[in-house]
Amino acid sequence: MSSLDRSIGFRVASSDGYVGTVEEVVYGVDESPSALVIATDLPDKPLVLVGVEEVVQCSEHAAALILSPSWRESAVEMPVAAQVA
């Protein structure tokens, strides 16, 4: 089990600063994390799906993760209604 498996609630940042909070971990066919649903403070993208390949660092101790500077280019905006309860 990786730190990403336990990253729900972690603070998310990038080189631009604070991004948001991990809301859900999405698993691939091999049952390992493939993407993260992140609730952001961005008015144009309140909920985004980001591939785990964009995660540069994940610290379970600090309950935080850092995304690559290019994370916005691959992020997929999700409808707010799709939020996991």
Instruction: Please give the Cα distance from 36 to 51 (Å, whole number).
Output: 6
User: Per residue in 4-39, pLDDT tens?
Assistant: 999 999 999 999 899 999 999 999 999 999 999 999
State the pTM of this model. Answer: 0.87
Q: So what's the pLDDT on residue 85?
A: 46
Whether residue 75 is contained in a domain is answered as: no
Q: So what's the pLDDT on residue 2?
A: 74
User: Domain count of the chain?
Assistant: 1
Whether residue 76 is contained in a domain is answered as: no
The answer to whether 50 and 38 have CB atoms below 8 angstroms apart is yes
Instruction: Please give the Cα distance from 81 to 78 (Å, whole number).
Output: 8
Would you say residue 83 has pLDDT above 80? no
Average pLDDT of the chain, as a whole number = 90
CATH of the domain at 52: 2.30.30.240
Domain of 39 in residue numbering reads as 3-70
